[in-house]
Chain A
Amino acid sequence: MFFSDYISYNNGDLYCEINSPPNATKSVKLITMVITKVIPIIAAVLITIFAYWLTIKRLKAFPKNLLSTFGLETGKLFWYPAVLILTFAPCIAYSFTMKLLDREGSLITKAMHLMLTHGIGFSNAIVYGIQSKKKKEMDYLEIRGSNFEIDDDDVSVEEELRRGLN
C-alpha cells in the first residue's frame, strides 16, 4: 500500500508520520511535504483569518452597547488564527529545514517545533477555554433576560444576534 511506503521514522525527528521514503528524491520529498503539511496548514490559516476578518467587519456594524452587553470583544477573535500560526509555523519551518535543505534542524528549531506543535491541545484549551467562559456569560444573559436599553431600531439586530449566538 502507498501509505505503508510513506509512513516512516523521520530519522532523528523522533516520531512516525506520513513522510517521503528515506531514499526519495528532493522533488518527491517536497511534494509529500506540501501535500501533507503545507497545503492544509496554509489553507486553514488563510481561511480562518479571512473568516474572522469578515466576522469582525460585520460585528463592528452592530451598536457598541449591544456588543459590550454581550461582552464581545471583536479583537479577541484574532486569537484563533494567531494560535494556528503559532502552533504550526514551527512545524513548516522545521520540515523545510529537514526535508528541503537536507539539514539537521538546529536544537532550537526542534525544541520550538516540539514545544509549540506538540503542545497544540494546551494552547487550544487556553484560547477556546476563554471563549467557553464567554459563552457561559452569554448563556447567563440569555436565561436571565438582559435588561439593557437599546433603541427600537436595534431590536431586530439584537434578536438576530441572540439567535446567531445560540
Chain B
Amino acid sequence: MVWGSDVEGHSLLFNINLTATILSLTGSIIMSYSCFKRNPSTSIFLKMITAIAISDVFFSIANLLSTFEGEEMNSLCYIEGFLRQSSFIMTLLFTTSLAILCSRIANLSVNPDQEDYFMKSLIFGIIICLLYVLS
C-alpha cells in the first residue's frame, strides 16, 4: 500500500487518516440525508448546504480510496486525484457562495434569483474543475 513502512509513524498516520475519513464520510452522509429529507428544492440555503455535503462525501471517498492504493500508479490513483481536486474546489466554492448569498440577502436591496444563483455557482465550479484537469 501507499502507506509504506518507510514513512515515520506510518501505522499511526494510516489509522488517523482512516478515522478522520470515516468520521468525515459519516458526517457528510448524515448531513446530505438530513438535507434531502427536508427537500432542498424549497430553499437555496438548503441547496447550498446539500452541495457542500455532497462535495464532502466525494472528498471523503477520495481519502478512503488511498487506503486501497498499491505502490504503483494505476487508474485508481487518477480517479482519486480527480475526485480529491474537484470535490475540494466544490466545497470551497459552495462555502464561499453561501457566504456571498448571506451578505446579499442581509443587504435586503438584492433579492437574488435563487435557481439562477445556484446554477451559476455549480457551472462556475464545474468549469474550474475542468480547467484543472484539462489545462
Contacts and interface: CB of A to CB of B under 8 A. Distances in A.
Given A15-B63, A15-B66, A115-B20, A107 B103 contact: no
Interface string A88-128: 00000000000000001001001100111011111111101
B63 A124 contact: no
Given A12-B4, A16-B66, A120 B91 contact: yes
A107 B57 contact: no
A111 B13 contact: yes
A52 B20 contact: no
Interface in A14-58: 14-19, 36, 40-41, 43-44, 47-48, 51-52, 54-55, 58
**Interface residue tally on A, bucketed by range:** 35 or more
A147 interface: no
A122 B20 contact: yes
Contacts of A148: none
B133 interface: yes
A104 B9 CA distance: 12
B106 A131 contact: no
Contacts of A40: 88-89, 92
A25 B78 CA distance: 23
Contacts of B84: 15-18
A166 B43 CA distance: 6
A104 B8 contact: yes
Contacts of B88: 40
A107 B3 CA distance: 14
Interface of B: 2-4, 6-9, 12-14, 16-17, 20-21, 23-28, 30-31, 34-35, 38, 43, 45-46, 49, 52-53, 56-57, 59-60, 62-63, 65-66, 69, 73, 76-78, 80-82, 84-85, 88-89, 91-93, 95-96, 98-100, 102-103, 105-108, 111, 132-135
Given A15-B2, A16-B78, 14 more contacts: A4-B78, A8-B73, A8-B77, A9-B2, A15-B63, A16-B65, A51-B103, A54-B103, A58-B103, A58-B108, A107-B8, A111-B16, A121-B26, A122-B27
Closest 6 pairs between A and B when the two form their complex, measured CB to CB: A125-B27, A121-B28, A121-B24, A121-B56, A51-B99, A15-B66
